[in-house]
Structure 1
Amino acid sequence: MTTDRLARCASLLAAGALVWGITASPAVADDVRDKQWPIRTYEAGAKLWSVSQGDGVVVAVVDSGVREDHQDLTGQVLPGADFSGAKTDGRVDSNGHGTGVASLIAGHGHDGQSGVVGLAPKAKILPVRVRWNGEGVDLRQSDIELAVRFAVDHGAKIINMSIGGYDRLDYAARNAISYAVSKDVVVVASTGNSGDSAAPVEYPAAFPGVVAVGAVGEDGKLWERSTFGPETTLVAPGVNISEATAKSTSSYGVGRGTSDATAYVSATAALIRSKYPDLSAGQVINRMIKTATPPADGTVVPNVHYGYGILAPAKALEANPAVDGGPKENPLVKRAESQGAPSSDGAGDATGEPSEEAVAPGADGGGSGGDGTGLVIGAGVAGVVVLGLVVAVVVRVRRRPGR
């Protein structure tokens, strides 16, 4: 595959939803904590953590690994797996993207009111490391299959995938997502960071059954680079997000992108599954969908930009007999794919691989996850690399300067 081909295909997955109009709580002394506007907006201390903190729920983070000894994540990170070729258990992160995502899900801060706290601070993180290079993620289809199946088979009730690409991926990856859905797992992925109206929601977010998350800013408006489309399920905070990084045990950065928004949706699912352990994954998803806040501009939901609306964790945790007594099935399983589902015989074309025509042109974009120098990571897609008879789809996450 040529460099031009990769450049045309580059982009990022992510999506989410959020509730606005809440009065912010007083600022805390720690500067990092003070900058966590989603925690203030959601009034996490008063309206979430008194109800649920994610106890007993395992969230798999399929990413660059997670630094287990960061001061805001100590004790939160379980032994996981490494499909990058390195011999680790996933608790090593040379990039920082996975550590940032994990901190937004299950960070517990330190010294009381200092550091990054996640939306589900008592959930556990199962790190599933995949291939990354100097520029970002280098995720092959086989990695997706192995990572997802490992997460399901090792107790994850939620799988966070802040990664993505335009190609529909092979049937191994598609079947792995179907396997997770069939095993009652909530799969959450980002829609992308292209901001291009012609670019489709990326995979794995576009797979049926996956909660596809976009990003909004503190004003509740869709982030200008958030990829959108008919698969968009929810939107969540994804702009100017303070998070942990892997530079050191006490490093922080500021990220932006649908990767961060995806983490907040995964954390909300963890809060729900902890409070209501008997609910199916489908009922958990329905709680988030049916309690989402419509956008402030008055547009009718669902729509391609906001999905069902902005994530509202407090409302999603309230008693809701109408939703809980409804169907247990995942409401997104029958969702149509904007790129068109492959033929039922498993062949995208005569070779049995996804058709080249299914790969949409991409756009470079910044994703979530900062490091100690303020770098912002953009997740991207890759294309099809052919070597003899072997076809592998590469998904790239590019790192670019941020504020």
Structure 2
Amino acid sequence: MVGTGALTGALLLGSAPAASADDIRDRQWALEAFDADKIWQRSTGKDVTVAVLDTGVDAAHPDLRGQVLKGKDLTKKGTSAQEDTDGHGTAMAGLIAGRGHGPGGNSGVKGLAPDAKILPVRYQRKDFEAGTSLAASVRYAVRQGADVINISRGGHQNSEDKRAIEYAIKQDVVVVAATGNEGIKKRTYPAAYPGVVSVGGVDDRGAVWQDSSWGSNTTLVAPAAKNVVTNSTYESGYAIANGTSDATAYVSASAALVRSAHPDLTAGQVINRLIKTAKVPGPEEARNPKLPDEKFGYGVVRPYRAVTYDIPAGAKAGPLAQPDKSSDSAADEASSDSGSSSSDDSAGWMFALGPPIVLFGLIFVVLVGLVVLVVILIKRKDRRDRVSDPWGSGGSGPVVPPQQYPGQQVQAPSGQFGGPPTSPPPPPNQPPSR
């Protein structure tokens, strides 16, 4: 998937002297809303790897030192995934696993899952730049052992990307993606693929963010406005960002917290915990909405409850609609299991078509059909001979023209339709409680 767009808009926070480190931490309103200090007493994301499929991650940023794995740059000008000339990937990594800097790590940006490791997969160098396919990035992340894949970018539907997402889900990876920032009903991919945790946004007052798009099977919402992020493209090393990109990073971090605290759960069961503990935003509760709601899914993610509450594990596949079994994903599974082979089928070639009695019946039908066909051809030849030489003299007579068969008309695929919101965003509310 090339030409995909980042789903965060960043603004300059200030020059290095003007933006003090303490000021940065104070502006991280989402950590306070999540009651992050209490979460970290139970889980910090340790032993979990979150793949950030983006523009790379600046491993030298003071808040990310020691957090960023080698990863891979899959762009055509591939150099290092630990570089980021755009800043978007670094911003997502900071929200997920930033550790701050200075004494006790009390300065700078701290991520929601500060002990998780970031696997950077660079498939675009800049926003809207054509790089490698998203599919290749997803497959690489899975094969490198990612537990969670964060895709804070969006674009159009692509069959190759879809198969790669299916592969990741079948390999027990939590895939999280953003719905978009247009504030309209619009399907954004990969968020709209089955099995993906599709993330919209809320603002710093706890209401659905006005620019949060929906229609991509929205699963959860998370902070998407006024987030302080790590961004080395600015002199200060920080920026203020808005977008469902940020919300996606927070949900990916929440999944990392749950996977760390409950390592025996499948990816689907992790998603189940996130869904079962979510909260309907603000005044939306008054109308008792049917869940999932098209705009906010099951509600605002609450990682503290997702980590600590006693919730039945549920089905291994989890509550989300699962991708259909495809030949590509089946081939992926076969290639990951070196012991499997189609030659091991003890039933033999006869049973590929069914039991022997069925096979012999098919052979009989075919033979009868061939006999009938030969008779018909002989009769047609005899008729053509009579028509082409009606006098039987070998002279040229009228010739029957070949019959023309109409071709099959190919139907155009049905389009996807969207439209403006049918109602204005809900009024402001307090930040989500834990």
Q: Name the CA distance, whole Å, in 1 between partners of 2:98 and 2:178.
A: 20
Match in the other structure for 1:154: 144
8 Å Cα contact 2:175/2:197 also seen in 1: yes
Q: Percent identity?
A: 46
8 Å Cα contact 1:85/1:131 also seen in 2: no
Match in the other structure for 2:176: 188
Match in the other structure for 2:106: 113
Once the two structures are TM-superposed, the CA of residue 294 in structure 1 deviates from its matched residue by: 1.3
Equivalenced residue count is: 323
- Single out whichever of 292-301 and 152-161 deviates more from structure 2: 292-301
Question: Tell me, what secondary structure is at the counterpart of 2:44?
Answer: coil
Q: Name the CA distance, whole Å, in 2 between partners of 1:279 and 1:57.
A: 13
Question: Tell me, what secondary structure is at the counterpart of 1:128?
Answer: strand
Change (3 A) 1:362 1:157: farther
Match in the other structure for 2:298: 308
- Single out whichever of 76-85 and 245-254 deviates more from structure 2: 245-254
Deviations 1:57-98 (A, max 9, x none): 000000010000000000000001112112323111000000
Once the two structures are TM-superposed, the CA of residue 202 in structure 1 deviates from its matched residue by: 0.4
Question: Tell me, what secondary structure is at the counterpart of 1:236?
Answer: strand
Q: Name the CA distance, whole Å, in 1 between partners of 2:7 and 2:26.
A: 28
* Paired letter, 1:251: G
Once the two structures are TM-superposed, the CA of residue 361 in structure 1 deviates from its matched residue by: 7.5
* Structure with greater contact order relative to length (CA < 8 Å, sep ≥ 6): 1
Match in the other structure for 2:77: 86
Match in the other structure for 2:87: 96
Q: 2:116 aligns with which of 123, 146, 152?
A: 123
Deviations 1:332-359 (A, max 9, x none): 2348xxxxx9xx899xxx9x9xx77546
Q: Name the CA distance, whole Å, in 1 between partners of 2:4 and 2:75.
A: 20
Question: Tell me, what secondary structure is at the counterpart of 2:91?
Answer: helix
Q: 2:219 aligns with which of 196, 217, 233?
A: 233
8 Å Cα contact 2:4/2:153 also seen in 1: no
Q: Name the CA distance, whole Å, in 2 between partners of 1:150 and 1:179.
A: 11
* Paired letter, 2:31: I
Q: 1:68 aligns with which of 53, 59, 83?
A: 59
8 Å Cα contact 2:4/2:128 also seen in 1: no
Q: Name the CA distance, whole Å, in 2 between partners of 1:227 and 1:321.
A: 30
Match in the other structure for 1:366: none
Match in the other structure for 1:278: 264
Q: 1:32 aligns with which of 16, 24, 30?
A: 24
8 Å Cα contact 1:288/1:312 also seen in 2: yes
**Runs of 4+ residues deviating >3 angstroms:** 9-14, 355-363
8 Å Cα contact 1:108/1:121 also seen in 2: yes
Match in the other structure for 2:189: 203
Query: TM-score, normalization: structure 1?
Result: 0.74
Deviations 1:4-28 (A, max 9, x none): xx9xx997669xxxxxxxxxxxxx9
Larger radius of gyration: 2
Once the two structures are TM-superposed, the CA of residue 228 in structure 1 deviates from its matched residue by: 1.0
Q: Name the CA distance, whole Å, in 2 between partners of 1:179 and 1:29.
A: 41
Q: Name the CA distance, whole Å, in 1 between partners of 2:26 and 2:413.
A: 47
* Paired letter, 1:317: V
Q: 1:173 aligns with which of 155, 161, 164?
A: 161
* Paired letter, 1:116: V
Q: Name the CA distance, whole Å, in 1 between partners of 2:264 and 2:192.
A: 27
Which aligned pairs between 1:202-351 and structure 2 lie closer than 5 A?
202-229=188-215, 231-247=217-233, 251-297=237-283, 298=285, 299=287, 300=289, 301-322=291-312, 324=313, 326-334=314-322
Specify every segment of 5 or more residues in structure 2 that has no aligned partner in the other structure, as ranges: 9-19, 329-407, 421-434
8 Å Cα contact 2:177/2:191 also seen in 1: yes
Deviations 1:272-310 (A, max 9, x none): 001111100000000000100112112423211110000
Higher helix share: 2
Change (3 A) 1:179 1:361: same
Q: Name the CA distance, whole Å, in 1 between partners of 2:142 and 2:179.
A: 22
CA RMSD in angstroms, aligned pairs only: 3.0
